[in-house]
Amino acid sequence: MKIFASLARGSLVAYTALFFAFIYIPLVLIAVYSFNANPINMMTWSGFTTDWYAQVLGYKTAITGDAFYVESTDQLVQAVFNSLKIAASTTLIATVFGTSIAIALYHFDFFGRRFYRVVLFMPMLMPDIVLGIALLIFFVNSGINLGLKTIIIGQCTFLTSYVFIVVSARLSGMDRTLEHASADLGANEWTTFRKVVFPQLLPGILGGALLAFIISMDDLVITYFIAGVDVTTLPMFIFAMLRRGIKPEINAIAVMMLSFSFVIASLGLYLRSRQK
Amino acid sequence: MRESIVRMEKAAKTFATPEGQTITALGGIDLDVRRNEFLTLLGPSGCGKTTLLQAISGFVELDSGRILIDGEDMTDRPPYRRPVNTVFQNYALFPHMSVGENTGYALEVAGIGRQDRARRVAEALRMVGLEGLEGRKPRQLSGGQQQRVALARAIIARPKLLLLDEPLSALDKNLRQAMQIELKTLQHELGISFIFVTHDQQEALTMSDRVAVLSGGRIQQLDTPRAIYDKPRNSFVATFVGASNLFEGEAAAGRLVTTDGIAISHGEQGSTGAATALIRPEQFFLADPGQAGPILDVDLEQIVFVGSTFELFGRTATGRRVIAEIPAMRRGLVGEIEQSRRARLSYDPSAVHLIPAEAA
Ligand SMILES: Nc1ncnc2c1ncn2[C@@H]1O[C@H](COP(=O)(O)OP(=O)(O)O)[C@@H](O)[C@H]1O
Ligand SMILES: [Mg+2]
């Protein structure tokens, strides 16, 4: 019996270790190779360097010739700025819409309520490529010029769903009797919302907003269709680079993006823990 | 000053179940709650106690009938404009607010200034024995303390009436008994009426000025605890409150005979016709040999020692179940019947209560 127990335990440990290794080893490898001095074959270690980072950020380095793939740091910076601008706008819009819809569907019982719920799930279930094409056709037909504006509108269509789902989850976990208690103690609907519902909802709203931000920063397929020719976002920029071969600068960019996401996620977790 | 603080007139409420049935939660209830009264709503789960409370606090809209509080018609008033406060079953404390903020919520909402509020919060917390805990969060308190915060929060705005929906059901037995006494004291100090909901008959009997026994959305009996216990109006009340032995039969002057031939003597001379006789277990005692007067012979199935008493579970010759409670000081006698497994139970006919058949 004892042997079985320790065997089960051992395999559970091994399974867990493998699981995490599978997820995190590739990330660790990228981070490691981003410091590899070998310009030709990045899988072969030839020494430590921070040149790739310097390169990406536009500093002069010893690396020359073919190894250098970020043709213009300005373009990269522009792409990053585009992505940030888009993510900030879409996050704001999607958070306001998603939250309002979630609250409305929670509080009011009206005709077609269930139908709305389904409609709101749809953009998440739809394949990106279909959504991208659909949006493109829509924008072209309605004569809207492709650019930042269309990216923002397009991304909002599915980011609103994400915020809606996160906030709805928070709402459905909320204790309805708290609203009764508030009314019982003399607060009208608006005061109850302000003092009881909203403060409890806030972690959910922030969580939804962070999720929307990260997904927006990360979106390639849909954005690719509706970006037009003038606007390039960070994922589009990286994708364009990749088409010419995997080069060490990409590792450096990836590590920087990863760090950024990590900071955002940590911030989210921190806010959550404080709200609890 | 009006005698009644709450008056319900023909209050009715039905709910539709998802299966398409209708449930009568309130079946046309008439109720007067007196000023300064501790009134308990007692009944099994699902009998409509919460619905009745919520009709008063405004969370349940009546299908018909009306509700007056202190003479004012409340039927169409939203909950936040009714002069009543509630202690909720699960306490319903705001998790994101401190104890002080929770307690002062009603005052804050009413626009009362910070200083006044702080003073009254301190006072309310002192009344429930939680002085100085203003800064804690609800989750940092024990269940009993949370209960007290809920209480302080509900009384701080001096409501005309306090509603308590099974407030003690989540507490353990000792704490529960301590809180029962504290609640009584508090009600006395505040000088307001309490409507207290419980499904625990012991709690109802010990705490209340009057008890309303509910079943199926109707008040079966509204009376003092003693009247409820000694003179239940129907067999539902008799069985729900306390343990009981019921004998249905045909009553004649001084005697009731059941269909299986058992004769019960009773003191209610006037009653005749179909009726049910009630004998509480503690009204039986063990008859001395050769004793005259009414006797019930039973075969004992079980004798249970519960500390202050022995509980005897037996059957008559015709198979009817009988429960009797014998004071533990009569140990010697109990020893004897433990041997013989038979007992001769005697009782005082004047203590037997007759329930007329139409009420049962
Ligand atoms: N909102 C509701 N919808 C449907 N049925 C309800 C609702 N509220 C209460 N009921 C039903 O009404 C009856 C009385 O409920 P309630 O007043 O909560 O009983 P109690 O508090 O005595 O346990 C129960 O059968 C319950 O299932
Ligand atoms: Mg209830």
- Residue A266 domain-assigned (yes or no): yes
- Residue A83 domain-assigned (yes or no): yes
CA distance, residue B86 to nearest chain A CA (Å): 7
Same structural domain, A133 and A198: yes
Same structural domain, A253 and A168: yes
- Residue A63 domain-assigned (yes or no): no
B271 pLDDT higher than 90: no
For residue B50 and ligand 1, the question of a CB distance below 6 A is answered with yes
Residue B84 with chain A: CB contacts under 8 Å: 184
Residue ranges in B110-166 assigned as alpha helix (H): 114-127, 143-155
- CA geometry: angle at A162 spanning A157 and A164, to 5°? 95
A246 at interface of B, judged by CB pairs closer than 8 A: no
Closest by Cα among B23, B37, B59 to B218: B23
Is A183 in contact with B79 (Cβ distance < 8 A)?
A: yes
Please state the CATH superfamily assignment of the domain spanning residues B4-235 in this structure.
Answer: P-loop containing nucleotide triphosphate hydrolases (3.40.50.300)
Q: Which amino acid is at B155?
A: I
Considering only residues 195 to 214 of chain A, which have any Cβ-Cβ distance to chain B shorter than 8 Å? 195-196, 199-200
Residue B86 with chain A: CB contacts under 8 Å: 180-181, 184
A186 at interface of B, judged by CB pairs closer than 8 A: yes
- Residue A207 domain-assigned (yes or no): yes
CA separation for the pair A47, A36 (Å, rounded):
6
- Residue A89 domain-assigned (yes or no): yes
Is B78 in contact with A188 (Cβ distance < 8 A)?
A: yes
- The enclosing H or E element of A181 equals helix A176-184
Same structural domain, A100 and A36: no
Report the length, in residues, of chain B: 360
Query: Whose atoms come closest to the Cα of B213: which ligand?
Result: 1
Averaged pLDDT of chain B: 89
Query: pTM for this structure?
Result: 0.78
Reported in sequence order, the residue ranges of chain B that DSSP labels E, i.e. its strands, are: 4-16, 22-34, 38-42, 64-69, 72-73, 84-87, 161-165, 193-198, 210-215, 218-223, 245-252, 255-258, 263-265, 273-279, 285-286, 295-305, 309-315, 321-327, 342-346, 353-356
Closest by Cα among B147, B118, B116 to B130: B147
For residue B51 and ligand 1, the question of a CB distance below 6 A is answered with yes
For residue B23 and ligand 1, the question of a CB distance below 6 A is answered with yes
| pLDDT tens sequence across A203-251 | 889 989 998 998 999 899 999 999 888 888 999 988 888 877 777 788 8
Same structural domain, A96 and A232: yes
Place of tokens 């299908």: B63
Averaged pLDDT for residues B170-192 = 87
Closest in A181, A191, A200 to B88, CB measured: A181
The SS3 call for residue B197 is: strand
Give the model's pLDDT for residue B220: 94
Averaged pLDDT for residues B323-333 = 80
Closest by Cα among B334, B56, B60 to B197: B56
For B126, residues 6+ apart whose C-beta sits below 8 A from its C-beta are: none
Give the residue, B116 or B268, on which the prediction is more confident.
Answer: B116
Give the model's pLDDT for residue B262: 85
Is B59 in contact with A199 (Cβ distance < 8 A)?
A: no
- Residue A44 domain-assigned (yes or no): yes
Q: Tell me the percentage of chain B whose pLDDT exceeds 90.
A: 48
Give the model's pLDDT for residue A65: 52
A68 pLDDT higher than 60: no
CA separation for the pair A118, A120 (Å, rounded):
5
Angle between helices A248-275 and A2-33 (to 10 degrees): 120
CA of A203 to the centre of ligand 2 (A): 31
CA distance, residue A184 to nearest chain B CA (Å): 5
| Number of separate domains in chain A | 2
Is B79 in contact with A180 (Cβ distance < 8 A)?
A: yes
Give the residue, B198 or A267, on which the prediction is more confident.
Answer: B198
Closest in A186, A188, A196 to B94, CB measured: A196
CA distance, residue B125 to nearest chain A CA (Å): 17
CATH number, domain of A262, equals 1.10.3720.10
Averaged pLDDT for residues A61-77 = 64
B133 pLDDT higher than 60: yes
The SS3 call for residue A53 is: helix
B86 pLDDT higher than 90: yes
CA separation for the pair B173, B24 (Å, rounded):
33
Nearest CA in chain B to A180: B59
Same structural domain, A106 and A235: yes
CA distance, residue A177 to nearest chain B CA (Å): 6
Give the residue, B36 or B335, on which the prediction is more confident.
Answer: B36
Same structural domain, A186 and A267: yes
User: Which of the listed residues B29, B50, B88 should we mutate to test ligand 1's pocket, taking the one with most ligand atoms within 8 A of CB?
Assistant: B50
Averaged pLDDT for residues A134-161 = 92
User: Which of the listed residues B42, B47, B215, B219 should we mutate to test ligand 1's pocket, taking the one with most ligand atoms within 8 A of CB?
Assistant: B47
For B140, residues 6+ apart whose C-beta sits below 8 A from its C-beta are: none
Give the residue, B206 or B333, on which the prediction is more confident.
Answer: B206
CA of A76 to the centre of ligand 2 (A): 64
Give the model's pLDDT for residue A64: 55
A41 at interface of B, judged by CB pairs closer than 8 A: no
CA of B51 to the centre of ligand 1 (A): 6
Q: Tell me the percentage of chain B whose pLDDT exceeds 70.
A: 99
Give the model's pLDDT for residue A197: 92
Closest by Cα among B69, B63, B68 to B48: B63
To test the contact with chain B by mutation, choose from A176, A179, A185, A276 the residue with the greatest count of B C-beta atoms within 10 A, namely A185
**Could you tell me how many helices (H) and strands (E) chain B has, helices first?**
10, 20
CA distance, residue B55 to nearest chain A CA (Å): 12
Residue B57 with chain A: CB contacts under 8 Å: 184
Averaged pLDDT of chain A: 86
CA separation for the pair A161, A222 (Å, rounded):
15
- Report the range of poorest mean pLDDT among A75-84, B52-61, B322-331: B322-331
Describe chain A by its helix, strand, coil percentages, rounded to 5: 75, 0, 25
CA separation for the pair B228, B100 (Å, rounded):
41
Closest in B59, B90, B110 to A186, CB measured: B110
ipTM: 0.81
Give the residue whose CA is nearest to atom 17 of ligand 1: B48
Same structural domain, A161 and A78: yes
Find the domain containing A9 and state its range.
Answer: 2-56
- Report the range of poorest mean pLDDT among A9-18, A50-59, B18-27, B64-73: A50-59
Same structural domain, A144 and A244: yes
Nearest CA in chain A to B80: A186
CA separation for the pair B69, B218 (Å, rounded):
20
- Residue A237 domain-assigned (yes or no): yes
Closest by Cα among B166, B252, B215 to B359: B215
A118 pLDDT higher than 90: no
**In the numeric block, which tokens belong to residue A3?**
């042997």
- Residue A213 domain-assigned (yes or no): yes
pLDDT band of residue B289 (cuts 50, 70, 90) is confident
The SS3 call for residue B107 is: helix
CA separation for the pair A196, A64 (Å, rounded):
61
Same structural domain, A29 and A111: no
CA separation for the pair B14, A276 (Å, rounded):
39
CA separation for the pair A172, A165 (Å, rounded):
10
- Where do the domains of chain B lie? 4-235, 244-356
pLDDT band of residue A91 (cuts 50, 70, 90) is very high
Is B80 in contact with A187 (Cβ distance < 8 A)?
A: yes
Rg for chain B (alpha carbons), in Å? 25
CA distance, residue B186 to nearest chain A CA (Å): 19
CA of B45 to the centre of ligand 2 (A): 7
